[in-house]
Amino acid sequence: EVQLVESGGGLVQPGGSLRLSCAASGFTFSTYWMSWVRQAPGKGLEWVANINPDGSEKYYLDSVKGRFTISRDNTKNSLYLQMNSLRIEDTAVYYCAKDGRTWPYWGQGTLVTVSS
């Protein structure tokens, strides 16, 4: 059974940093693209970033380029999202999702709140 478990969310001040993690199990993690998708409170879905199986290709939403970094550790079956220079508009539930373009499996999400 595919399982994705996010962690690392919390309250952070504008300009601060946070690192999200996603622990994957139930599939061969090292052979799949992985993605982060977010959802602001009461709003719709927004793709944030994705990464290819060996970590050599990464794509980002324009508004997070230069601030967020997606990475993975295939030895630990883990996906990460390093978020720097956080803005109030980055407040959202962040979901880890399996695959690169459509997402049949999602984690439960971790809430990131950017507020002073």
Partner 1 sequence: EIVMTQSPATLSMSPGERATLSCRASQSVSNNLAWYQQKPGQAPRLLISGASTRANGIPARFSGSGSGTEFTLTISSLQSEDFAVYYCQQYDNWSPFTFGPGTKVVVK
Closer of 81 and 107 to partner 1 (Cβ): 107
Cβ–Cβ under 8 Å, residues 101 and 32: no
Instruction: Count how many residues are written for the chain.
Output: 116
Q: Hey, which residues between 66 and 95 contact partner 1 (CB under 8 A)? A: 95
Considering CB under 8 A, how many residues would be counted as binding partner 1? Answer: 18
Q: Using CB under 8 A, which of the segments 22-30, 42-50, 66-74, 76-84 binds partner 1?
A: 42-50
Single-letter residue type at 12: V
Residues 14-33 that bind partner 1 (CB under 8 A): none
Q: What DSSP assignment string belongs to 14-70?
A: TT--EEEEEEEESS-GGGS-EEEEEE-TTS-EEEEEEE-TTS--EEE-GGGTTTEEE
Q: Which of 31, 62, 75, 116 binds partner 1 (CB under 8 A)?
A: 62
Interface residue with partner 1 among 8, 9, 16, 47 (CB under 8 A) is 47
